[in-house]
Amino acid sequence: MILVTGGTGLVGAHLLFSLCEDHQLCRAIYRNVKGLEAVKKLFISSGDLNLARYKTIEWVLGDILDLEGLTPVFKGVKTVYHCAAHISFDPSAYKTLKSVNVSGTANMVNLALDFKVSAFCYVSSIAALGKSDTQNHITEETDWNISDPNVYALTKYEAELEVWRGIWEGLPATIINPGVILGPGFWKKGSGKLFSFAQKGSPFYFPGGSGFVGVKDVVNCMTLSVKEEKWKERFICVSENLTYKALFGDMAEGFGLKKPTHKLPFWILEILWRLDYIKGLFLKGDRKITKHTLKGLSRRDFYDASKSSITLKMEYTPIKKVVIGCCDLFKDSIQ
């Protein structure tokens, strides 16, 4: 039995799709029944056969913060893919981030140890990798030396420490550090919003860049690391390091629109995060733009995924191909 957390998110849903295609027996945790609909649609979009496969998933209502409630979920489980996470860059969301990302991961690690699972794969992020003030080339070995990290990066890093603690206690575990994950089916949250933004035909692009990867490649990296038993390892999972100008250019091409030509000036971004801060003083909900978000959108880091390419023999899909495919599916979804 394979246990998947975060099964109603982008990575978890595509992981379940892949595992079911491979006729694996899956159990997945969900918190809200509404989240199941997006996963079901993902399976339906690939034909009746995959709808039948969707029905083989054992869905369990649960919460990774509920240690007592999680205990029976681990019965018979041999492999765990821990994809669940809370994503926010709003400093006011730190308590929630700390609780879900760190304490939730600690619970998963503890139960995996108690039940002596055979494999544990944790989906982290490139946000949890170290940065350098002198060079922007980042590998799995880059030291964590960030003096002022954003709250999401900090909690993902601390979550990794929980996994390493489990490894030291005998847990066969591996860590995947994906870049910005691009994939279909979840257009209203996360990176899916980038396609909604690009589809409007904005002439503007952000000044920086990042490492990007298709969701199918992330799933492949996860399953390969488990299949090859690459324990006590972390793998950067990035297809290409691109500027936002190049990314939005590919999206514009996918939507048949004119490519953006105007870089958003830094001073406009400075104004936007301050306005968003003021709005946050009066309205509930996570802030959309923070000082750290601005820093990330303006920075250009290069993530070296050669370890996953060599060790796991990963063959990454070109981002342009991923983007064009997503644009086609996005257009189908709004018709």
For residue 72, what is the domain's CATH number? Answer: 3.40.50.720
Whole-number Å distance between alpha carbons of 242 and 205? 12
- Residue that wins the pLDDT comparison between 144 and 216: 216
HSE value, Cβ hemisphere, 13 Å, CA-based, for 272: 16
Encode pLDDT of 64-117 as tens digits: 999 999 999 999 999 999 999 999 888 888 999 999 999 999 999 999 999 999
Looking at the domain assignment, is residue 261 inside a domain? no
Report percent pLDDT > 90 for the chain. Answer: 61
Report percent pLDDT > 70 for the chain. Answer: 86
Range of the domain at 236: 2-201+211-240+303-312
In contact, 120 and 62? CB cutoff 8 Å? no
Band (288; pLDDT cuts 50, 70, 90): low
Task: Give the count of domains, the chain.
Answer: 1
pLDDT at 125 over 70: yes
Residue 271 confidence (pLDDT): 54
Arithmetic mean of pLDDT, 151-164:
95
State whether residue 328 is helix, strand or coil. Answer: helix
Take residue 256 and report the two structure tokens written for it.
């048949």
Whole-number Å distance between alpha carbons of 44 and 13? 12
Specify the range with the lowest mean pLDDT, choosing from 107-111, 230-234, 276-280.
Answer: 276-280
In contact, 8 and 39? CB cutoff 8 Å? yes
Estimate to the nearest angstrom the gap between the alpha carbon of 255 and the chain centroid.
24
pTM: 0.90
DSSP structure class, residue 231 = T
Band (253; pLDDT cuts 50, 70, 90): very high
End-to-end CA distance of the chain: 38
Looking at the domain assignment, is residue 267 inside a domain? no
Looking at the domain assignment, is residue 326 inside a domain? no
Looking at the domain assignment, is residue 139 inside a domain? yes
Looking at the domain assignment, is residue 273 inside a domain? no
Q: Max Cα separation, the chain?
A: 56
Whole-number Å distance between alpha carbons of 113 and 70? 13
Average pLDDT of the chain to the nearest whole number: 88
pLDDT at 163 over 70: yes
Specify the range with the lowest mean pLDDT, choosing from 17-21, 111-115, 117-121, 260-264.
Answer: 260-264
Residue 42 confidence (pLDDT): 86
Residue 144 confidence (pLDDT): 82
Whole-number Å distance between alpha carbons of 224 and 335? 36
Alpha helices in the chain (DSSP H): 10-21, 34-44, 48-54, 67-70, 94-97, 104-114, 151-168, 192-199, 215-227, 244-255, 266-282, 291-298, 306-311, 319-333
What crossing angle do the helices spanning 319-333 and 192-199 adopt, rounded to 10°? 70
In contact, 166 and 173? CB cutoff 8 Å? yes
Residue 193 confidence (pLDDT): 85
Looking at the domain assignment, is residue 319 inside a domain? no
Band (226; pLDDT cuts 50, 70, 90): very high
Looking at the domain assignment, is residue 27 inside a domain? yes
Looking at the domain assignment, is residue 295 inside a domain? no
